[in-house]
């Protein structure tokens, strides 16, 4: 299974020192460049920045070649790029996010997934 992640799941797992669970559960994780940049950005916490300085081999950074649909404008750049990147792969795909804003977009995204099997996760309540 191909797993594409946005920033939040990685950020929280790094902070609780459980990022290795991703490799155990999924093998490789693909993230867009913008997600990597967010993990290293000005608002990133030191443990997260340090984690990115020695990126595990099971994290792969890729650029999307798709152009965002205006319906994705309610999302931040990391979420938007992760969705576009996930759309470039063959099934099965798991898009991993922790934002409730995606709930509104899921029906439209599934209809645009061109026959791909799409699953996703989101948080329930505050982290």
CATH code, 9:
3.40.50
Nearest CA-CA partner of 87 in 2, 25, 22, 28: 2
State how many domains the chain has: 1
Position 62 in a domain: yes
Position 36 in a domain: yes
Position 47 in a domain: yes
Q: How confident is the model at residue 2 (pLDDT cuts 50, 70, 90)?
A: confident
Position 42 in a domain: yes
> Structural domain of residue 29, as residue ranges?
2-121
Position 79 in a domain: yes
Position 126 in a domain: no
What pTM did the predictor assign? Answer: 0.75
Position 127 in a domain: no
Count of alpha carbons within 13 angstroms of residue 58, beta-carbon side: 15
pLDDT digits 0-9 by tens, 30-71: 999 999 999 999 999 999 999 999 999 999 999 988 888 787
């Amino acid at each position: 299974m191909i797993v594409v992640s946005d920033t939040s799941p990685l950020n929280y797992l790094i902070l609780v020192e459980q990022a290795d669970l991703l490799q155990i559960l999924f093998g490789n994780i693909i993230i867009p460049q913008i997600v990597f940049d967010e993990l290293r950005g000005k608002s990133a916490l030191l443990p997260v920045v340090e984690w990115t300085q020695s990126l595990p081999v099971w994290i792969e950074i890729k650029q999307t070649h798709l152009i965002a649909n205006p319906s994705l404008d309610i999302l931040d750049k990391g979420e938007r790029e992760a969705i576009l990147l996930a759309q470039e792969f063959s099934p099965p795909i798991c898009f991993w996010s922790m934002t409730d804003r995606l709930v509104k977009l899921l029906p439209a995204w599934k209809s645009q997934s061109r026959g791909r099997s799409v699953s996703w996760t989101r948080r329930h309540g505050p982290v």
